[in-house]
Amino acid sequence: MGRVIGVGAVIGVVALCLFGLWGAPPDDRQGEAMRLLYLHVPSAWLAYFAFLVTAIASALFLWPRTRSIVWDRVAGASAELGVIFTGLTLVVGSLWGRPIWGVWWAWDARLVTTAVLFFLYLGYLALRRVPGEPVASGKRNAIAALIAFVDVPIVHFSVEWWRTLHQKATVFNPELSARIEGVQALTLWIAVLAFTLVYVYLLDRRYRLAVIDDALAGQALARAIRTRTGGNPGETT
């Protein structure tokens, strides 16, 4: 199953390259810079999707009936991908902003929210790296993920409120926004599909890696215990 998704993801990315770089026409107003949106929009969408998956997996871990190490691993894997996609969103958005808005960064509500989001989950990933007993650290991770997740709408709401109270939207000038239709719309759909497949594939790989990691840690511990007790007569195993 993982392999099928992997092949699908490769096909999707190749199709995205072909359509994004050559198939789709340049935008009337934005020119070639518009092509960056084929990376920016799907990575932003997947960043939010990945954090949603982390939140759901964390809630499932906290619920005693569905508690399983599986959910902790899924939450961690998805959050890592979410942070990568958030970073990609910020970088590509900045590259797009320079030619279109004339600035690398603008204090726009969406940008600020995304930046805060990035740091929220960077903290979560840092917490995850702290070793501990599986159930205890699983609960800790899950609660941290939920604290971060519920903060996202509050951050977004407050930042949006702040910016609109102070100034009218200057950067999101409707004159400049792209009207998406025809091949451009198709390319965007291909991009979203390709990125989603890449996400699912990477999630699967990252999950397996976590399983191997845990097994390795378990083996190392067993070996260490054997070495310590090895010299002790009477304990031959």
The minimum distance between CB 134 and other proteins, in angstroms, equals 11
The minimum distance between CB 142 and other proteins, in angstroms, equals 9
The minimum distance between CB 4 and other proteins, in angstroms, equals 38
Residue 27 dihedral angles phi and psi, to the nearest 5°: -75, 150
DSSP letter for 92, please. Answer: H
The minimum distance between CB 141 and other proteins, in angstroms, equals 9
Count CB neighbours of 71 within 10 A.
Answer: 21
For residues 43 and 141, which CB has a smaller minimum distance to other proteins in the complex?
Answer: 141
Distance of CA 37 to the CA centre of its chain: 17
Q: List residues binding other proteins (CB under 8 A).
A: 62, 116, 119-120, 122-124, 126-127, 130, 132-133, 136, 139-140, 143-144, 146-148, 150-151, 154-155, 157-159, 161-162, 165
CA distances from 163 to 91, 97, 152, 172, 221 (A): 22, 18, 17, 12, 53
The minimum distance between CB 92 and other proteins, in angstroms, equals 22
Contact, 124 vs 148, CB < 8 A?
yes
CA distances from 40 to 71, 82, 91, 96, 186 (A): 29, 14, 9, 9, 15
For residues 104 and 161, which CB has a smaller minimum distance to other proteins in the complex?
Answer: 161
For residues 147 and 209, which CB has a smaller minimum distance to other proteins in the complex?
Answer: 147
For residues 124 and 199, which CB has a smaller minimum distance to other proteins in the complex?
Answer: 124
For residues 126 and 215, which CB has a smaller minimum distance to other proteins in the complex?
Answer: 126
